[in-house]
Chain A
Amino acid sequence: MFGPAELISQLLVGISRSMILFIVCAGLSFVLGVLRVPNIAHGSLYMIGAFTTFSITKMFAGSAGFWIALIVAPLLVAVVSLVAERALFCHLYEREHLMLLLFTFAISLILGDLVKIVWGAEYKSVSAPALLKGSISLFGASFPRYNLFLILVGPLVAIAIWLFTNKTKIGKISRAAAVDREMVGVLGINVSWVFAIAFVIGCYLAGVGGALVAPTVSITLGMDHTLIIEAFLIVIIGGLGNMWGALVGSLIFGITHSFGVLFWPQFAIVFPYIAVVIVLLLRPKGLLKSVW
């Protein structure tokens, strides 16, 4: 039915898509681990990252725009999230989980419409920079250069996050806060700021994901909704707050989806959901240890 070349190429496509999911989910998981809040607005920030990338690439001629956007778009997203956190969110930390969750939903509703106001409802597309255009031949199948780039970027981001959480002071503190927030308070650290920083870093990663995904999809309203559900599932099957879990979950999700596209395109989106259900039946609390 399908040759090995097609299978391998589809596998690589799946992995490259997983890398974007991973970057976004690592951010979501980080926030979930430290703040204990599933941030529904994470998807909206990802969407803003993608739309901003579109605008920036329009501003510059040639490929420079994309590279600039890759730096600037996530920073912009981080600023948006910082404002939301300091202005509103930080006053709610003592409240029930449900309220925090609904608050992030409110933010996602507001951001969704703001995107509509700023960019309109039409589809947008971004072309990949010249360096990453076209395809290369791999195991007899042609494979887009941009996807190869994603496969390289994913592990780099993973290493960066690992270095941050394990080697920097603020990373260690936020990891400790995830496990035992009272203790961090006792140490005389301002927990509120730890939360703010963790939140902004998580959202920054959503922006990175949005910028990276821009050349591979049509950028549209509603991409936030699809993504956030996927990201929730990935974070659950990986183990809440566990970064490596986010990686494993993303790979499961991305690869089952890309094989779904190959075997039964109409129901491709069903395959990852089935994978999630199977994982949760076997390991209700996720594959790797949750930080909760």
Chain B
Amino acid sequence: MLQVEGVTKSFDDFMAVNGANLTVNQGEIVAVIGPNGAGKTTLFNLITGALKRDKGRILFKGEDISELPPYEICKKGITRSYQIVNIFPRLTVFENVQVAVLSYQRRSSNLFRPAQSFAVKETRSILESVGLLNKEKNIAGSLSHGDQKILEIAIALGNEPELLILDEPTAGMSPEETQATIDLIKRLATGRGLTILFCEHDMDIVFSIAQSIMVMRHGETIIQGGLEEVRSNKEVQEAYLGGD
């Protein structure tokens, strides 16, 4: 479904991503791991078009998307959540998700009908599936951190993505919230048939959800493979797992 081939990105002199390779197959849950500064977030920014790659190709369903602006890539079926909470703080929880649903339904330019009459069912169903329906009228900025991270995912679901990218979905969460989020991700993958690409620090989480793991270091791909393959890889053990 998604192929990243030899993608490179540098900021001034710093090579953030240096020839990364990644394959995500339909229906798979893929994790990207690596130490801080390995280039995981930059890689996600490149896939979703927030940054432009210097070299390499990014293919989605066989089509080169590396030159497209973010909003086009979203329309192709890739959406994402962010590591650092990135929501619409002044809007309500409902409106946060509705913005995305309206965009997906191509109704954002409707000028004279009240927004409340659109996309209500879809928005509510998303909020229900992530468990935020009881807080739909709250101002998003006043939610707890954990709820804001969940809202992150809910917004990303608004566009009915085929590929969902989650950047450290459980960062800063309490253990209970983390467990709930893991369950949510599993539910999304099986219930909605989503393909999920995520990165995560906590190895227990990675090994409990992921079916395939890609390991990055200094912007390079060390290996991508199944859980056992990655676990037993010498280089990975030295570079990353061993050091933990």
| Direct chain A–B contact by Cβ atoms under 8 Å | no
